[in-house]
Amino acid sequence: MNPALDFIRRLTMDADRIDDSAEPFTNDEWNDYADTVKAALAIASERRFGAGDYGEVIRWVGDIRARASDREGELYPLLAERLIGAAACDDAPELSEPVNGDAFARVTMLYIPAMLRDLDLSEDQLDAFFAEAEDLAQQWRREG
């Protein structure tokens, strides 16, 4: 498992690490793992929200922000809503501009573990989830 997915797995198992969770990786390192993390985000979003409506994603992101005491928008709530919504909801608005690597890292390191905790997966199920994310990222790379 690549280091980014391993880190997401550890964050999923330890909910107390909700703040400053993107510290171990630089923006350049994220570029190496971005496709696999995007795949993990897509799969987690689909499983957590199914064919849910975008309003459900907005409410959920708001709840995560409240639990993390994010009063200044440091957890990129709009970006999180759009990324999660794009993967899970037909009624989500599209992203209109490129995503900053640091913002992407913070969003994924906070919201992927939160979605996985909501799904209450066993350790074996987590392993299967991350293997599926790696497989999907490889498929995307092959498709080009």
Distance CA 109, CA 37 (A): 9
Domain ranges (residues) in the chain: 3-13+23-143
The per-residue b/e assignment along 112-131, b for 16 or more CB within 10 angstroms, e otherwise, is bbbbbeeeebeeeebeebbe
Could you list the mean pLDDT of each consecutive 10-residue stretch along the chain, which spans 144 residues? 84 67 59 85 94 91 86 84 91 83 84 94 95 93 84
Q: Is there a contact between 126 and 8 (Cβ–Cβ < 8 Å)?
A: no
